[in-house]
Chains A and B, each alone.
Chain A
Amino acid sequence: MALSITEACVNCWACVDVCPNTAIYASDPVFAIDSDKCTECLAEFPEPQCAAICPIECAIVDELGTPLNPLGSLTGIPVEKLQEILEAAAQGQPA
């Protein structure tokens, strides 16, 4: 049982400071979670702390790769709008 960090991460350190297990460390290109240390905060808190403070959608995922903060869940920007932007970015065009 461990969470992990995707490349959506912006390296803001917020999760590092709140992890009760000091499981998160700076890595390249983004922060990483030590799966031996991560408990998903099951014993400690009602919700995993990294996911509770992370400002970036889809940056923290569970073992199945499911984001704890899915697209549209943090900023309130409609999913369709976000997808448009992501697609534009993938094509190398400004959104």
Chain B
Amino acid sequence: MDLPVISNTAPAASGGGCSSAGCGTAPDALAHLPDHIRAKVQDHPCYSEEAHHYFARMHVAVAPACNIQCNYCNRKYDCANESRPGVVSELLTPDQAIKKVLAVAATIPQMTVLGIAGPGDPLANPERTFETFRQLSEKAPDIKLCVSTNGLNLPRYVDEIARHNIDHVTITINCLDPKIGARIYPWIYWENRRIRGEEAAAILIEQQQKGLEMLTARGILVKVNSVMIPGVNDEHLKEVSKVVKAKGAFLHNVMPLIAEAEHGTYYGLMGQRSPSAEELQALQDECAGDMAMMRHCRQCRADAVGLLGEDRGAEFALDKLDAMEIDYDSAMARRKEVHDAIIGQLEAKRARSAAPVKADDLPTPIPHGTRPVLMAVASAGQGLVNQHFGHAREFLVYEASPAGVRFVGHRKTELYCVGGDSCGDAGEDGVSADSILDRTLAALAGCEVVLCAKIGFEPWGRLEAAGIQPNGEHAMEPIEAAVLAVYREMHAAGQLATPASGQKRA
């Protein structure tokens, strides 16, 4: 079945964009890229909603030191149940990190990428970071390397980054205005001094921008991450998006602030709120006019292992590595086979679905101007509606409109660590099913339909009461086809003639 699947970047974009039946975002979001860049990112799970179902990545926590303080970070925090940036359970030396990477790459042949992302700033730990990269490019040259940084030390290490064949760098850029920066960064360590306030922010911003320019001048791919902090930098990020694109960043990833009081961060304790899923999506849409946006970032831990959204780190704890017997050469050969097979699959899928769809081919086109509808999908991967509602830890959100279907983001239901309950301390009871369902309903605000493989009787009633229509009739179908089919049904039933009514904010 051919479907019009529109670009993630802007409704006007057409041609070239691939209408994959996978997640529909990756090829589209990356469609503006030159071929050689697209080739570089097609098997990178973090850059492509499609690739992340197939390829795995890992982070190694070799970089504990940091040279700045961010108001969304608490350097004391470590919790095995947490999944968010900066959090890590076991710090590794470069030698231990290599051992772990090789073990993971042998056990999970889908692994394509090793990243160093913390728990501090990798470039504030240059020896540990670059020693890890050096050893790995020697022992597993097929693994791609990437590094994330706050940018303060970036200009100093651009040449070193280029030498290590690191083709992806992520810079977290939250602002261009030191006045805003002073509300995000209380201090930096710079030229042997602790510097505070706007002076600190101005230095950081200058180094970030310089680093970005130097990297793109050398042909190194740069992704920019921004943390959306309502009331602080939310409006400003539109400007950030324009500027970083002009300087050659190939992706802008706007992520929601995570600020729970129990994390002990400045923002968490001071009551700074996080953006709602709708606010995040609105900002991403505004920024998308300027450049490709990432919609599927899962805000991984600094020691995450496995496919995006899963973490198999515990299987590869240091004490378990010694017991593993690994044939490194055959592991690398096996990886090549697996990677080639996946790339082949993806390309075949792309070729199949890239055939142009003529509007005439479609039965009863939906009139222009008909209102769009957001639908949440429970999917365990492969681009299918194939997960039980109750098993979904996150939902993929799609927008259906007369122009087609586009992926707009994902929403987590189990929001990060929920504190004492799931950490198992303080002797509290587990989270009740009711409160999980409440959280799920809140996470689905703005969606009118939930597509899933199956759903229980009780959640069905609760969803309906909240104005969200559960739908299990498209189980095992490709997501875009299912979303479009439901959109058509809604149109045929006259439900699109009226505004989304009955939608209660959970």
A and B co-occur in one complex: yes
A46-63 CB contact bits vs B (8 Å, 1 = yes)?
110100110110000000
Does A27 make an interface contact (CB < 8 A)?
A: no
User: Contact between B186 and A13 (Cβ–Cβ < 8 Å)?
Assistant: no
Q: Would you give the 0/1 interface string for A24-60, flagging 1 where the beta carbon is closer than 8 Å to chain B?
A: 0000000000000000000001110100110110000
Task: Please state if A53 and B64 are interface contacts (CB–CB under 8 Å).
Answer: no
Distance from A53 Cβ to chain B, minimum over Cβ atoms (Å): 4
What secondary structure prevails in chain A residues at the interface with B?
loop
Q: Mark A80-95, 1 if CB is under 8 A from B, else 0.
A: 0100010000001111
State how many residues of chain A have any CB contact under 8 Å with chain B: 26
Of B69, B193, B270, B420, the residue contacting A55 (CB under 8 A) is B69
Report yes or no: A77 in contact with B124, Cβ–Cβ below 8 A. Answer: no
On B, residues with C-beta under 8 Å from A are: 64-67, 69, 71, 75-76, 91, 120, 124-125, 127, 186-187, 189, 192-194, 261-262, 264, 266, 269-270, 419-420, 425-426
Set of chain B residues within 8 Å of A56, measured between Cβ atoms: 75-76
Which residue from chain B places its CB closest to the CB of A17 in the assembled complex? Answer: B65
CB-based nearest A residue for B74: A75
CA gap between A16 and B124 in the complex, in Å? 12
B66 pairs with A46, CB closer than 8 A: no
CA distance A16 to B120 in the complex (A): 14
Instruction: Pick 17 A–B contacts, CB within 8 A, sort by A.
Output: A12-B64, A12-B66, A12-B75, A13-B64, A13-B125, A14-B124, A16-B65, A17-B124, A17-B125, A18-B189, A46-B193, A47-B193, A52-B193, A53-B67, A74-B187, A77-B266, A94-B262
Contact A76 B65 (CB under 8 A): no
Chain B neighbourhood of A11, CB < 8 A: 64, 91
Inside 8 A of B189's CB, which chain A residues have their CB? 14, 18, 52-53
Q: Does A14 contact B192, Cβ atoms closer than 8 Å?
A: no
Q: A12-B65, A14-B65, A94-B420 are in contact. Are A76 and B186 (CB under 8 A)?
A: yes
Query: How many whole Å from A66's CB to the nearest CB in chain B?
Result: 17
Q: Least Cβ distance of A56 to chain B in Å? A: 6
Q: How many whole Å from B131's CB to the nearest CB in chain A?
A: 13
User: Which 4 residue pairs of A and B lie closest in terms of their CB atoms, listed nearest first?
Assistant: A14-B65, A53-B189, A55-B75, A12-B64
Q: How far is the CB of B302 from chain A (nearest CB, A)?
A: 12
- A14-B124, A75-B71 given. 6 additional CB < 8 A pairs? A12-B120, A18-B192, A46-B192, A47-B194, A55-B75, A75-B266
A10 contacts partner chain B, Cβ-Cβ < 8 Å: yes
A10 touches B264 (CB 8 A): no
The minimal Cβ–Cβ distance linking A29 to chain B, given in whole angstroms, is 14
Contact of B269 among A47, A77, A94 (CB under 8 A): A77
Q: A56-B75, A56-B76, A94-B426 are in contact. Are A14 and B66 (CB under 8 A)?
A: yes
- Within the complex, the shortest CB–CB distance from B116 to chain A, in Å, comes to 14
Q: Is the CB of B120 within 8 A of A52?
A: no
Bound CA–CA A56/B264 (angstroms): 13
Shortest beta-carbon distance, A40 to chain B, in Å? 14
* Docked complex Cα distance between A31 and B289 (Å): 49
Check B186–A55 contact: CB distance below 8 A. Answer: no
Contact A94 B425 (CB under 8 A): yes
Measured between beta carbons, the chain A residues less than 8 angstroms from B261 are 95
A57–chain B nearest beta-carbon distance, Å: 10
- Residues in chain B near residue A14, CB distance under 8 A: 64-67, 120, 124, 189
Give the residues in chain A near B269, CB-CB below 8 Å: 77, 81, 85
- Check if A77 sits within 8 Å of B66, measured CB to CB: no
Asked if A52 and B419 make an inter-chain contact with CB atoms under 8 angstroms apart, the answer reads no
